[in-house]
Amino acid sequence: MRNIFKGSLKGYVCEDCREEISEVEILIYHPYKRTNTAAQAATNEKDDFRFVSKDEIKQRAELLVYKAKTDAKGNFAIEIDERYLDASFDVDFVCGSVPPKHPKPKKNEIVQLHIATISIREELAKQAKDQNYRWEYAIAYKWWCYIRGHFFDAWTICGHLMNCRTNTPIANAKVTAMDADFLTDDNLGTATTDSNGHFRIDYTSADFKKTFLSPWINVETDPNFLSFQSGPDVYFKAELAGTQLIDETKANARKNVGYCLCVNLCSDVNVVNPDDPNFPSAWTGIGNAFSSSYGSSSYDFDADGYAGSGKHVIYSIIRLTGQAALKSASGNPIEYRFRISDTTAPNNTASLAESNFTKIVGVTPGLFYPSIVSKLTRKVYSFILNDIFVYSDQSDFDAEGWFDVNHAIERTLTAVGLTPADLALYNIIEEDTLISLNTTALTTAPNVPGGIKAGQNIPAANKIGLEKFAIRFEIREVINKAANIFGVIGGNGKTLNSVIMNNNPIYRQLSFKELDETSLCSPISGTIHARYTVYHPYLSGCSLHLNNNSHSVERDISDGVINTLPAVDERTNNSSQLNNPPADMTRCTYTLKLYSSTRKHNGDYGDSDGGTPLEQIFFYEA
State how far the Cα of 109 lies from the Cα of 97, in Å rounded to an integer.
11
Using CA atoms, how far residue 20 sits from 8, 115, 199, 495, in Å, is: 8, 15, 16, 53
Helices (H), 130-266: 141-152
Residue 499 has pLDDT above 50, yes or no: yes
Give the lowest-confidence range in 29-33, 38-42, 383-387, 442-446: 38-42
- Which tens digits make up the pLDDT trace of 247-268? 999 889 999 899 999 999 998 8
> Span 369-385, mean pLDDT?
89
Q: How confident is the model at residue 393 (pLDDT cuts 50, 70, 90)?
A: very high
- Region class of 516: left (phi > 0), else alpha (psi between -120 and 50), else beta: alpha
Architecture of the structural domain at 154-268:
Sandwich (2.60)
Give the CA angle between residues 399, 400, 404 to the nearest 5°: 85
Burial class (CB in 10 A: 0-12, 13-18, 19+), 494: buried
Neighbours of 228 (CB within 10 A): 8
For residue 476, the Cα-to-chain-centroid distance in whole angstroms is 28
Among residues 27, 50, 47, 34, the alpha carbon closest in space to that of 88 is found at: 34
CA quadruple 236, 242, 245, 247: dihedral, nearest 10? 40
Helices (H), 110-172: 120-129, 141-152
State how far the Cα of 352 lies from the Cα of 350, in Å rounded to an integer.
6
Q: What sign does the CA torsion over 114, 118, 120, 123 have?
A: negative
- Which tens digits make up the pLDDT trace of 98-119? 888 766 676 667 899 999 999 9
> Span 369-387, mean pLDDT?
89
441 three-state secondary structure: helix
Question: Residue 141 in contact with residue 260, Cβ under 8 Å?
Answer: yes
Question: Residue 525 in contact with residue 512, Cβ under 8 Å?
Answer: no
- Region class of 308: left (phi > 0), else alpha (psi between -120 and 50), else beta: left
Residue 601 has pLDDT above 70, yes or no: yes
Give the CA angle between residues 310, 313, 317 to the nearest 5°: 125
pLDDT value of residue 268: 81
Average pLDDT along the chain: 87
Question: Residue 201 in contact with residue 190, Cβ under 8 Å?
Answer: yes
Q: Which CATH number fits domain 507-620: 1.20.120, 2.60.40, 1.10.3470, 1.10.12?
A: 2.60.40
Q: How confident is the model at residue 67 (pLDDT cuts 50, 70, 90)?
A: very high
Helix %, strand %, coil % of the chain (to 5): 15, 40, 45
Question: Residue 208 in contact with residue 236, Cβ under 8 Å?
Answer: no
> Span 411-424, mean pLDDT?
95
- Which tens digits make up the pLDDT trace of 529-559? 999 999 999 998 889 999 999 898 999 998 8
- Which tens digits make up the pLDDT trace of 179-196? 988 667 889 999 999 878
Q: Is the peptide bond before 100 cis (omega within 30 degrees of 0)?
A: yes
